Chains A and B, each alone.
Chain A
């Protein structure tokens, strides 16, 4: 494979395009509502109508508006059909030839789509994730070629630093700095790891990226491998994502077949292979040290840092570990330039962020917005607010490690620092909207139960502390708690956050703390009358003033 071969594949792919393209969403959400049958129906209808040389039916990745799936898009014309049934196929195909159709139309001009800015998701819903040619046709692997032949690893890292990209796994560590640390650590063997163990309840960004555009992640990893001097990559995907795993396997095989992964990439001395490791269902394996233990075949438990993976990671070698979305940002940054990327977003948070909108919201689905977009724009304009005109009470970001942001803070711009200031975190991008019917102590209890179940059991504060906190929350929710229970709960929140070994335990109290911060009266109202009842009422009165 040399650059001419790549250009030839891209040109052939673009020239081979038929007059009309019917895109059918083949990501997990639409597939769960029979989009596979829709696609088969469309293919048959095209054949039956004798339009095979004019109309292409293309299985594509996520088309964003998951709640209206299966989604089908028709080009030219930018027409969107939603809730398509397999029986609609013939009518839909006929419509491409000018016939009227009564298949439900979606509005591609609505704010949900118009306010999005696609970088990570630019190929999602456009290219066929199961054909590498489709990705190459969309400028795929050009970035990898250009870094191999036009940039030194140092220049590449400086480029990533200049872009201002920060880790999309949640903590927001500057990506370029992490790369530089791994690059500077001397070692004969280094590794690149992609963290695809997305486990937050309500989060499906990484799954969508892997299902919709697996090659963008592979290309990002290969570029990272060149930057830090690694020849082996691992993608760690949770077993609950079988479609993502299947598409990754296809992508790796296809990339290997044409020499874009393996030895002598683009006939350069650069060698990079990628293997998939499948998680066994433990949430804690999303924590980087636990993830690496799991890749090594050990029990997936975290270990204290330092040493950080950049210094001593997989099999004690320096290891670069980034999230799926972070890697998917790399090729666009290389192709379009660091300045372009740095021009998007806020002063400290650059680029875009993908969010999974879920919960009590009209438009459930996947969005990608520039950093600095306010929560109100996301939830009310794009998300269409809560169903049935109910008022929004809070937005939960960051999953079990995050917090609930109350409705009166919705004008907060989405960036790492602002969300942290509110007692939540950016997290990996799950956004769960709660309406007025949601009872916050129950939300806190739910997340605490999640953390209790998912604690690995290694350190005492997380293992025993989450169990005690859950017990206390359960008592409070059942109206059996006292003011003393609440005080014990708050004391434990502080202790578990400060003393736990890894991020799971350190952040487990966040949902409790943030709901206590903004919705304390709901807790106080639940306290049982009795010996401490007087105290509770006094606190409640003091709070309401």
Chain B
């Protein structure tokens, strides 16, 4: 596979042909904020946090889904992008009921970390305070829709790593939500293998191991990438 050279934030970078801007940036040690991206599964381009500016392209492009090209000039950290990222995060916090102080993932939450890293010290939008339920029907895991950001990591992991196809999205717009099978209680699901990959994949406290209390949920999503890597490339020594 041929390598291509591009420029990210003024730094000359080389990456494999076919790599995404995000992969090239990670390899070069340049951090681009992501939320729906998860190593090991295909990208959705949904959270819009990894949007970057590419010289000569009118539109902002999601770094996780855009392939690199020779001579491409990418800017990942302009004032405009920082502003949009903050707004995106504020929109997320206002959308559902994210109460960090009472959340199992407090201190280990990707959403919380991103807000902190991006200087989000308040939310300028009205909180929506929607009514969402908690599905605690599964013997080992729980799903709290109040903390869900609809990144669909759990769905992609469930279909493409575990292959169970239990998790899905129903509804549309702000009313969309994660379902199990045909919108049944998770505990009644006949396809769920209780593998727990969705729980590992979740960036917030939406999916959690039952019995964990505030700030107790810690997860290691790199395990998922490890499984995929071992399976597809037969590499398991890291």
Q: Interface of A with B (CB < 8 Å)? A: 282, 284, 299, 303-304, 306, 452-461, 463-468, 471, 488, 491-492, 495, 498-501
Q: Which residues of A contact B67 (CB under 8 A)?
A: 306
Q: Is the CB–CB distance between A459 and B47 below 8 Å?
A: yes
What string of 1s and 0s marks CB contacts (under 8 Å) between B150-175 and chain A?
10100000000000000011011111
Residue in A284, A459, A467, A492 whose CB lies within 8 Å of B95: A467
Q: Which residues of B contact A465 (CB under 8 A)?
A: 91
Q: Is the CB–CB distance between B48 and A460 below 8 Å?
A: yes
A461 to B62, CA, bound (A): 13
Q: Is the CB–CB distance between A303 and B48 below 8 Å?
A: no
Q: Is the CB–CB distance between B45 and A501 below 8 Å?
A: yes
Chain A min CB distance to B65 (Å): 4
Asked whether B44 is an interface residue with its Cβ less than 8 Å from the other chain, the reply is yes
Residue in A284, A456, A464, A501 whose CB lies within 8 Å of B91: A464
Chain A residue at minimum C-beta to C-beta distance from B45:
A304
Q: Is the CB–CB distance between A460 and B47 below 8 Å?
A: yes
A459 to B84, CA, bound (A): 13
Q: Is the CB–CB distance between A457 and B150 below 8 Å?
A: yes
Chain B min CB distance to A395 (Å): 27
Chain B residue at minimum C-beta to C-beta distance from A488:
B124
Q: Which residues of B contact A458 (CB under 8 A)?
A: 44, 46, 150, 152
Given A457-B169, A488-B125, A467:B174 Cβ within 8 A = yes
Q: Is the CB–CB distance between A464 and B95 below 8 Å?
A: yes
Q: Which residues of A contact B65 (CB under 8 A)?
A: 303-304
Chain B residue at minimum C-beta to C-beta distance from A452:
B173
Chain B min CB distance to A71 (Å): 38
A27 to B47, CA, bound (A): 43
Q: Is the CB–CB distance between B173 and A466 below 8 Å?
A: yes
Residue in B51, B128, B150, B169 whose CB lies within 8 Å of A499: B51
Q: Is the CB–CB distance between B87 and A492 below 8 Å?
A: yes
Asked whether B72 is an interface residue with its Cβ less than 8 Å from the other chain, the reply is no
Q: Which residues of B contact A306 (CB under 8 A)?
A: 66-67
Majority secondary structure of chain A interface residues (helix, strand, loop or mixed): helix
Chain A residue at minimum C-beta to C-beta distance from B175:
A457
Task: Please name 28 pairs of A and B residues whose Cβ atoms are closer than 8 Å in the assembled complex, sorted by A.
Answer: A282-B172, A452-B173, A453-B173, A457-B169, A457-B175, A458-B46, A458-B150, A460-B91, A460-B149, A461-B91, A463-B176, A464-B95, A467-B95, A467-B128, A467-B173, A467-B174, A468-B91, A468-B94, A468-B125, A468-B126, A471-B128, A495-B88, A499-B51, A499-B60, A499-B84, A500-B48, A501-B48, A501-B62
Residue in B48, B173, B176 whose CB lies within 8 Å of A461: B48
A-B contact count (CB 8 A): 94
Q: Which residues of A contact B168 (CB under 8 A)?
A: 299
Q: Which residues of B contact A453 (CB under 8 A)?
A: 172-173
What string of 1s and 0s marks CB contacts (under 8 Å) between B62-105 and chain A?
10011100000000000000011001100110110000000000
Chain A min CB distance to B83 (Å): 8
Among A452, A460, A498, A501, find the residue whose CB has the most chain B CB atoms closer than 10 A. Answer: A460
Chain B min CB distance to A384 (Å): 38
Q: Is the CB–CB distance between A457 and B171 below 8 Å?
A: yes
Q: Is the CB–CB distance between A299 and B88 below 8 Å?
A: no
A500 to B94, CA, bound (A): 18
Chain A residue at minimum C-beta to C-beta distance from B91:
A464
Q: Which residues of A contact B87 (CB under 8 A)?
A: 491-492, 495
Given A457-B169, A457-B172, A466-B173, A495:B84 Cβ within 8 A = yes
Chain B 94-125 interface residues, beta-carbon cutoff 8 Å to A: 94-95, 124-125
Q: Which residues of B contact A488 (CB under 8 A)?
A: 124-125
Q: Is the CB–CB distance between B47 and A498 below 8 Å?
A: no
Chain B residue at minimum C-beta to C-beta distance from A469:
B125
A452 to B95, CA, bound (A): 13
Chain B residue at minimum C-beta to C-beta distance from A461:
B48
What string of 1s and 0s marks CB contacts (under 8 Å) between B168-189 and chain A?
1101111110000000000000
A282 to B170, CA, bound (A): 13
Chain B residue at minimum C-beta to C-beta distance from A471:
B126
A37 to B16, CA, bound (A): 68
Q: Is the CB–CB distance between B62 and A304 below 8 Å?
A: yes
A302 to B152, CA, bound (A): 14
**Which 5 A-B residue pairs are closest in the complex by CB-CB distance?**
A457-B176, A464-B91, A304-B45, A455-B173, A304-B65
Q: Which residues of A contact B66 (CB under 8 A)?
A: 304, 306
Chain B min CB distance to A296 (Å): 14
Q: Which residues of B contact A459 (CB under 8 A)?
A: 45-48
Among B60, B83, B124, B125, find the residue whose CB has the most chain A CB atoms closer than 10 A. Answer: B125
Among A303, A304, A461, A465, find the residue whose CB has the most chain B CB atoms closer than 10 A. Answer: A304
Chain A residue at minimum C-beta to C-beta distance from B86:
A495
Q: Which residues of B contact A452 (CB under 8 A)?
A: 173-174
What string of 1s and 0s marks CB contacts (under 8 Å) between B136-151 and chain A?
0000000000000110
Q: Is the CB–CB distance between B174 and A464 below 8 Å?
A: yes
